[in-house]
Amino acid sequence: MKEKIDAIQAEALARIAAADDARTLEEARVGILGKKGTLTEVSAGMRDVPKEQKAEIGQLLNASRSAITAALETKQSALQDAADAQALAGIDATLPARPVHHGSLHPLTLIRHQALEVLRRMGFALADGPEIEDEFHCFDALNTPADHPARNEKDTFYFDSGKLLRTHTSSVQIRTMENQAPPIRIIAPGSAYRRDEIDATHLSVFNQLEGLYVDRDVSLGDLKGTLEYFFREMFGSETEVRFRPHFFPFTEPSFEIDVKLHAKGQAPKWIEVAGCGMVDPAVFESIDAGRKDDAFSPEKVTGFAFGMGLDRLAMIRWGIKDIRLLIENDVRFLRQFA
Ligand code: PHE
């Protein structure tokens, strides 16, 4: 039995050593360790080994099996290495790799991130509201009378249900005040919709950024300081900012904000970037009428609000002449922001 095992092992190792490809090696493995393999067959002879020799022969068989298995594994990885080396022969690993095209953020996303970052540094927290609004949150609660032109069917997308696509993000002011007591300091970026004729400066959907600050003793000075700081952070510390008296139903006094643009080769000009003002007490009163807790009593709190077009800010920042570029997804345009 001993000699038999030795002979089978010697033959097996020789066969493994001679195998020069994966298939021959697999055939050798099956021929030795498979169901009818030489070592399997000799192992079956254990039955007839006298009791007192079983331990010794058993050990011998195990040692033989380990030696053969080890030889198989070593040979297999040697064959694999050789195959890998052959596959790599002729490849110049020092050639530069093919460039990977990274995507980039859309200019609107970039400008929104930057604007939010500046305002969050000043303590404004994100707020949100639905794009499908009701007339109450979009107009009535914002002190906008039923005959105001913004409510006209010509200017606003209405649903049969009487709901509408919000014409501005100012509705988020109302929703926030309904659910939160002062102090409030929020910003709400989001889409707004108007039935505008589409051209280089108008789309029927655009992106606004709303802000609202309500607390004790909030003053017009706070409003000016906050927004001047904001626009200088956005467009550079030298940026000139101008507040022009204007009218909004929900703020009093109200202003439009212009920044002075110095485009290359052109006379500097003022460009309108935002609307703002001190929250009209009528808005606070309407909120309190719903809340019934007097939290927004104009005796106790004041506030300011502002709203700006992010599309407009992006166009100013990068000198984009046509707002439609922002929605056409032309990679030749978008790639410039990578
Ligand atoms: N909602 C106004 C608009 O869309 C902007 C605005 C917001 C004005 C907040 C004053 C205060 O034009």
143 Cβ closer than 6 Å to some ligand 1 atom: no
Q: What is the pLDDT of residue 76?
A: 92
Cα–Cα dist 133/86, whole Å: 67
pLDDT exceeds 80 at position 263: no
Q: What are the pLDDT digits (tens) for 118-157?
A: 999 999 999 999 999 999 999 999 999 999 888 888 889 9
Atom of ligand 1 nearest to the CA of 167: 4
Residue 174: band (very low, low, confident or very high) from pLDDT cuts 50, 70, 90 = very high
pLDDT exceeds 80 at position 245: yes
Distance 289 CA to ligand 1 centre (A): 23
Cα–Cα dist 296/288, whole Å: 6
277 Cβ closer than 6 Å to some ligand 1 atom: yes
| Average confidence (pLDDT) over 63-70 | 92
| Average confidence (pLDDT) over 163-179 | 97
Q: What is the pLDDT of residue 48?
A: 86
DSSP assignment string, 276-325: EEEEPHHHHHHHHHHH-S-TT-TTT-EEEEEEEEHHHHHHHHHT---TTH
170 Cβ closer than 6 Å to some ligand 1 atom: yes
Binding residue numbers for Mg(2+): 252
57 Cβ closer than 6 Å to some ligand 1 atom: no
Q: In the chain, what are the helix, strand and coil shares in percent, each to the nearest 5?
A: 45, 20, 35
Task: Return the residue whose CA atom lies nearest to atom 9 of ligand 1.
Answer: 306
251 Cβ closer than 6 Å to some ligand 1 atom: yes
Residue 243: band (very low, low, confident or very high) from pLDDT cuts 50, 70, 90 = very high
Nearest to 168 by CA among 201, 197, 142: 142
Pocket test for ligand 1, best of 142, 144, 170, 306 (most atoms within 8 A of CB): 170
Residue 278: band (very low, low, confident or very high) from pLDDT cuts 50, 70, 90 = very high
Cα 27 versus chain centre, distance: 54
Task: Return the residue whose CA atom lies nearest to atom 7 of ligand 1.
Answer: 307
173 Cβ closer than 6 Å to some ligand 1 atom: no
Residue 44: band (very low, low, confident or very high) from pLDDT cuts 50, 70, 90 = confident
Looking up tokens 């200019």 gives 107
Pocket test for ligand 1, best of 138, 144, 171, 248 (most atoms within 8 A of CB): 248
Q: Is the peptide bond before 253 cis (omega within 30 degrees of 0)?
A: yes
| Average confidence (pLDDT) over 60-71 | 91
Binding residue numbers: 252
307 Cβ closer than 6 Å to some ligand 1 atom: yes
306 Cβ closer than 6 Å to some ligand 1 atom: yes
This prediction has a pTM of 0.73
Distance 216 CA to ligand 1 centre (A): 22
CATH for the 107-337 domain, from 3.40.50.2300, 3.30.930.10, 3.30.450.20, 1.10.10.10:
3.30.930.10
Pocket test for ligand 1, best of 168, 220, 279 (most atoms within 8 A of CB): 168
